[in-house]
Amino acid sequence: MNSIGTLWVFGMMLIICADIFSRNVLNHPLNGVPEIIAFSIAGTIYLQLANTLHAGRFTRAELLIEWLEVKRPFAGCVFNSVFNLFGIIVFLIMVQGFWGEFSEAWRENEIAGVPGVITFIVWPFYLILLVGAVATGIEFLLRFVREITGAGRALRNPSGRASATKRGYGWLIALAAFAVVIYFLTTAELTNAQIGILSIICMLILIYAGMPIGIALIVLGFCGIWMMKGNTAIAERMLPQAGAEYMKNYFFGVVPLFVLMGLLVAAADVGKETFQVARWAMRRVRGGLGIAT
């Protein structure tokens, strides 16, 4: 899946570059490129999500969680288990939403594009999202099982380090207290401004604790909608839309072009040589190295 996604990204680069050339040189844009790129953005992301998670490349703050994993392995495993559990829940909701979108598109033979110019069926796109979400959810499940197993091993550790302090019970109590406070706050009557402030505070806490930033933002968005609307069904419908519909934007096609630019700069050593020229030009200026940088 990751290889397919990578090849798809390169294909998007070629299509975008061909469209730019056709627009500016031939004064004739390629038909359907915005629609194809818009659908491709979300497709390539979901094809590569599971492998990204498997490689441990989900962005997160590691200041606290790495310390826990080394110094308090039991607490570290419990923290990671909780984070992975949230990931499982998030992608279960996404799978449910994508299945509905796929079923509807399949049943009604839904098409996208510009009628009379270029059109294409969209159920393969939703199928890709569904498969990617399922694979990512399974990867979260495997990581959850692995962390639970690691917590069991750390708890049975016969060494002298297996004291309450070394196990990190204090951190676990803090985590439980945070969960209890959030539970009572979600059941309280809060204004939208108070919900926003609470979300910012929780975002900082969860990110600092080591939850993957994407999962933390999704969870907080879900809870925020739930608290404002008082209905989890609305939040459940919004989650798949945020995970797919809002990413179907042609302007996100600039991301693969930045990737291509980075590859060219790295392969040609342009960045290194540019820095050397700037350093030479600023060699007689105080702070020249900083200016060159």
Which tens digit of pLDDT belongs to each residue from 240-268?
A: 877 777 777 777 777 777 777 777 777 77
Mean pLDDT of 120-145: 91
How many other CB atoms are there within 10 angstroms of residue 273's CB atom?
10
CA angle, residues 85, 90, 93, in degrees to nearest 5: 125
Q: Which residues sit opposite 31 in a β-bridge?
A: none
Tell me the pTM.
Answer: 0.81
| 3-state secondary structure (DSSP) of residue 112 | strand
What secondary structure letter does DSSP report for 159?
S
Task: Check residue 292 and give its pLDDT.
Answer: 56
Task: Check residue 86 and give its pLDDT.
Answer: 94
The answer on pLDDT for 81 being more than 90 is: yes
What secondary structure letter does DSSP report for 122?
-
Task: Check residue 291 and give its pLDDT.
Answer: 61
Task: Check residue 161 and give its pLDDT.
Answer: 47
Confidence bin at 139 (pLDDT 50/70/90): very high
Cα 43 to Cα 159: distance, rounded to the nearest angstrom: 48
Confidence bin at 162 (pLDDT 50/70/90): very low
Q: Per mean pLDDT, which of 37-51, 151-165, 272-286 is the most reliable?
A: 37-51
Please give the residue that has the higher pLDDT: either 196 or 165.
196
Task: Check residue 163 and give its pLDDT.
Answer: 54
Question: What element of type H or E holds 171?
Answer: helix 169-186
The residue among 126, 130, 134 whose CA lies nearest residue 248 is 126
